[in-house]
Amino acid sequence: MIGVDDLAGLLETLCPMFVLINDAGRITQVGPILQKLRPDRPMAGEHFLNVFELQRPRSVTNLSTLTSTPGTRLHLRFQDAPRTGLKGLIAPLPGGGGAVINLSFGISILEAVRDYALTSADFSGTDLAIELLYLVEAKSAAMEASRSLNLRLQGAMLAAEEQAYTDTLTDLKNRRAMDHILGHLISMKSSFALMHLDLDFFKSVNDRLGHAAGDHVLKQAARIMLEETRGEDTVARVGGDEFVLIFKGMTDRNKLGGIARRLIQHLSEPMQFEGEACQISASIGTALSTQFDTLKAVDILHAADLALYAAKRSGRSCHRFYSEPSTARHPG
């Protein structure tokens, strides 16, 4: 007949979370992994129910009743924190000398691995928990890879979308972005002002100093326009030397006139390029969304164009507001 010591040795190999109790319900030996869960509290010598809280079966209140029913399935947890949940199976020893209780984590295994820093070496080689841990690890790795890929794809999509709406030379919005923003403002029935700005004498810079100088002038002009506008405003390059500025929520002619004057003043200051002075100016036409009973993008753009042409006819370096025809509130 196998002795208790031999039995304990076998259990340590096969069931590293076993508990041996005597007929008085006191723990005589525990498996190495179970003791690892409470490294500062030796379990041997303690009463089983002082270490573990029996949750099921609820009808059982003492171990003598429990050990009298072989194969009884247990649901229990530690009395102290962390109160890890455990499952067990009890097998009485022959001759009424106590019982063996084999414990496992059950569905609490993930919390246990986290709380006690367990590894696969802490489980029996035949324990299905090992397979579960591998599956969880593989799933976690796959989810992390998927999350990382999604973030990269999202970043690439945002970058592509930003590029699609950005003028590559000046980093301003482009015509497509301007159309999108203008359509949104109209659909939301927002009030706004739209300026059409054209650089005067820009062609002479290109002809005299080359396209590199022209590109430099465009970048400097873009910087000036951004400095004279707010964060919620839109500055878009819609042509070679043509720009559209949209001022959300602003229809005050005095404020808009002041912005236009400052733009013309700053754009008229010579811009240095490789020791050469690049002299340009700007003509500006402005239309207000409030000038239209039924607002369409094509109408307000055309109205700003008409105001711009009026500014150029006035000698350039000028700003004009769109004047509504007396017979109808649209540009015609």
Residues 6+ apart with CB under 8 A from 56: 73, 74, 75, 76
Q: Single out the catalytic residue among 127, 233, 241, 299.
A: 241
Give me the pLDDT at residue 33, please.
81
Enumerate the β-bridge partners of residue 319: 284
User: pLDDT tens across 236-264, in order?
Assistant: 999 999 999 999 999 999 999 999 999 99
Give me the pLDDT at residue 227, please.
95
Residues in the chain: 332
Answer yes or no: 241 catalytic: yes
Q: What is the mean pLDDT of the chain?
A: 83
Q: Which H or E run includes 261?
A: helix 253-267
**Model confidence at 107, in pLDDT bands (50, 70, 90)?**
low
Q: What angle do CA 230, 235, 241 make, to 5 degrees?
A: 140
Give me the pLDDT at residue 31, please.
84
User: pLDDT tens across 134-143, in order?
Assistant: 556 666 667 7
Query: What's the one-letter identity of residue 94?
Result: P
Enumerate the β-bridge partners of residue 293: none
Q: What angle do CA 249, 179, 233 make, to 5 degrees?
A: 30
Q: Is the pTM of this model over 0.85?
A: no
CB 120 within 8 A of CB 133: yes
